[in-house]
Structure 1
Amino acid sequence: MTGVWTKKGWVKRTIAVAIGTLALLALAGAGSAARGPKLALVWQVPTPSDGAAFTVNAGASLTITLSASSSRTGELVLLGSRTLPGGATFTSAYSNPGTGNLTWTPSIQQAGEHVLTFTAQTHNLPRIYAQPRSFVVYVQKSRTPAPDDEFALSGPGGVSRWAYVSDSVRARAEPNLSARVVGRLPAMTPELEQNITLLLNGKVDERGKYWVRVRLPMLPNGSTGWVPRGALGAFRTLTTRLVIDRRLFNATLYRRGVPIFRTRIGVGKAQWPTPAGEFHVREKLSGFKDPIYGPLAFGLNARSAVLTDWFGGGYIGIHGTNRPQILPGRVSHGCIRMPNSAILRLARLMPLGTPVTIH
């Protein structure tokens, strides 16, 4: 049980954040960092800088070449990638130094923002890895849009938009009132905080009604739907993004394409995995009576596909811990945990609405 501040005062309840804790270990000094994979390989030219942004027209080819090396003489290195968009390929073989090539010709249906993350590892044991390196690729439509076309509400260079949900509303499969209902976008979170949603696309229908495609807090994760513009508050713009790598227990916060925070993390155990996908921060909570959650937690729109009977439906959170010695590792019911010093630092850097990519 934990104390959560709501408009009705302090209440004692088991919140969704408790189900799995994304545990972020600050680079600055987690004494337990030796528990996790050793991240000592070095990215080298021609690898783009961490957080680099690319803009490509739909139908045009994008190629990115990466290279990484080990300090151990003659060590063979293999590069790899996390989840890639449809049609993209990444090729690499053990070599010294290790090299890899991404090739992708995005389709017009893939217009919008994509986060690509790459890794590197040695051939010999014990394996050494590189810090994950992420890039943002913005695919734009190559033709001049028609007045009734959908338009993106994200932008090149990692620009995203979010809004508070003013009124609970049905979300539809298409931007019209006769379309199938795919879910509901609630005005409040289970913790009685005003809900936030990430804005993906907009469209004005034939009657002049403005619709917005948003991310929905429901299973399956990644669900989206169209809601009327009037159900949302003012649009707000961000240039931050948090990228989580579950295999290397690593999290990086980017602002305007520059990494500003990096930490080792703890994620869900095998039977309670932290879900992968694209999410966003929709609330910030504090005042917990149980120190296991630390001083602060971020609530995401991500949900556990396993612990669906937990309070509120099993939402995933990012929070602190009073047991930093267990980090990094697979230690939670699905959430992300970090030492208290790290979560407090992240709270100063990561605003509400920030997109969160979990690989």
Structure 2
Amino acid sequence: MRARAALAAAVAAVLAAAALPAVGAATAATPAPRLSVPGYRATFAFVDRATVARSRPGRGGRVVGRLTLRTGDGTDELVGVLAQRRVAGQAWLRVQLPIRPTGATGWILRSAVGELRSVPTWLRISRRRLRATLVRNGRIVFTAPIGIGAPGRPTPSGTFYVRDRLVPRDPSGLYGPVAFGTSAHSDVLTDWPGGGYIGIHGTDEPQLIPGRVSHGCVRMRNADILRLDQLMPVGTAVTIS
């Protein structure tokens, strides 16, 4: 009952926040409605052409990042979409960016991405409780113990999204049978291969779960990651607290 009450409070807070105007530089443009409400709707889009992200909507905004068509894993790049706004006749999107600093956001032209897609899922990672919980349409549909970053290599906190899904060559190996990439980066492993992205994956050491045992990634027992794979699509919102 406590968990359900906490979830209801969290969802209510998110819904209340969704009614607020989007954070950003002052502009005379149309207000930007929120497109993502974790636990009910997470909006994302695949990148159709290489583009820059700016600090505010409009071509006068400072460049804060760049997007290409493919991830370092060779999958199609996508971004979490938070809001949209029109400026000088052009449509802009406020998006979550898979760049450093981890959790960065920026504004891109709407024409740089494809169809806006929505999923009803939200993955919550609790570092204190060492537990992952998947919420779909406001209801908990999955929960499992996890391994997180060891002392000195912590799993970062923040709001992210599931960036891609991978099937490792060896299902009994280090990453288990399924791995999800997120938009989060390690705060300390800045020279890690592939850019230090935080993944959610299986393991060949299930006896270490739950625990603080990884380089920052979230580990699950293989049976649990396979269950999660049936429930969690790419684009899912991820909150690590």
TM-score, scaled relative to structure 2: 0.90
Residues 191, 300 of structure 1: CA spacing in aligned structure 2 closer, same or farther, 3 A cutoff? same
Provide, for residues 156-175 of structure 1, a one-character-per-residue CA deviation record: whole Å limited to 9, x for no partner. Answer: 86322111111121100011
In 1: Cα distance, 2:135 partner to 2:235 partner: 14
Kept in 2, the 8 Å contact 1:158–1:240? The answer is yes
Per the alignment, in what secondary structure is the counterpart of residue 230 of structure 2? Answer: helix
Kept in 2, the 8 Å contact 1:173–1:181? The answer is yes
Per the alignment, in what secondary structure is the counterpart of residue 18 of structure 2? Answer: strand
In 1: Cα distance, 2:220 partner to 2:153 partner: 18
What does residue range 110-189 of structure 1 map to in structure 2 within 5 Å?
114=14, 137-141=16-20, 148-155=30-37, 158-189=40-71
Partner of 1:198: 80
Residues 242, 51 of structure 1: CA spacing in aligned structure 2 closer, same or farther, 3 A cutoff? farther
Structure of larger gyration radius = 1
Kept in 2, the 8 Å contact 1:278–1:355? The answer is yes
Kept in 1, the 8 Å contact 2:168–2:179? The answer is no
Residues 210, 248 of structure 1: CA spacing in aligned structure 2 closer, same or farther, 3 A cutoff? same
Provide, for residues 30-76 of structure 1, a one-character-per-residue CA deviation record: whole Å limited to 9, x for no partner. Answer: xxxxxxxxxxxx639xx736356327xxxxxxxxxxxxxxxxxxxxx
Q: Specify every segment of 5 or more residues in structure 1 that has no aligned partner in the other structure, as ranges.
A: 1-41, 56-113, 115-135
Provide, for residues 73-118 of structure 1, a one-character-per-residue CA deviation record: whole Å limited to 9, x for no partner. Answer: xxxxxxxxxxxxxxxxxxxxxxxxxxxxxxxxxxxxxxxxx3xxxx
Provide, for residues 256-314 of structure 1, a one-character-per-residue CA deviation record: whole Å limited to 9, x for no partner. Answer: 11000001110001111101000000100003337111011000010012111122211
Partner of 1:312: 194
In 2: Cα distance, 1:235 partner to 1:314 partner: 28
2:162 is the counterpart of 1:281: yes
Provide, for residues 97-144 of structure 1, a one-character-per-residue CA deviation record: whole Å limited to 9, x for no partner. Answer: xxxxxxxxxxxxxxxxx3xxxxxxxxxxxxxxxxxxxxx6543149xx
| Alignment partner of 1:327 out of 203, 209, 217 | 209
In 2: Cα distance, 1:43 partner to 1:232 partner: 41
Residues 294, 51 of structure 1: CA spacing in aligned structure 2 closer, same or farther, 3 A cutoff? farther
Kept in 1, the 8 Å contact 2:29–2:87? The answer is no
Partner of 2:96: 215
Partner of 2:5: 48
Report the CA distance between 1:151 and its aligned residue.
2.2
Kept in 1, the 8 Å contact 2:38–2:237? The answer is no
More strand by share: 1
| Alignment partner of 1:341 out of 203, 223, 236 | 223
Please say which of residues 158-167 and 257-266 is displaced more in the overlay: 158-167
Kept in 2, the 8 Å contact 1:215–1:225? The answer is yes
Q: Specify every segment of 5 or more residues in structure 2 that has no aligned partner in the other structure, as ranges.
A: 22-27
Kept in 2, the 8 Å contact 1:51–1:254? The answer is no
Kept in 1, the 8 Å contact 2:29–2:85? The answer is no
In 2: Cα distance, 1:192 partner to 1:203 partner: 31
More helix by share: 2
User: Aligned letter for 1:179?
Assistant: G
Report the CA distance between 1:332 and its aligned residue.
0.3
Per the alignment, in what secondary structure is the counterpart of residue 48 of structure 1? Answer: helix
Per the alignment, in what secondary structure is the counterpart of residue 237 of structure 1? Answer: strand
In 1: Cα distance, 2:121 partner to 2:17 partner: 15
- RMSD of aligned Cα (Å): 2.1
User: Aligned letter for 2:224?
Assistant: A
Residues 182, 342 of structure 1: CA spacing in aligned structure 2 closer, same or farther, 3 A cutoff? same
Per the alignment, in what secondary structure is the counterpart of residue 50 of structure 1? Answer: helix
Residues 159, 209 of structure 1: CA spacing in aligned structure 2 closer, same or farther, 3 A cutoff? same
In 2: Cα distance, 1:333 partner to 1:49 partner: 29
Quick one: higher RCO (CA 8 Å, sep 6+), 1 or 2?
1
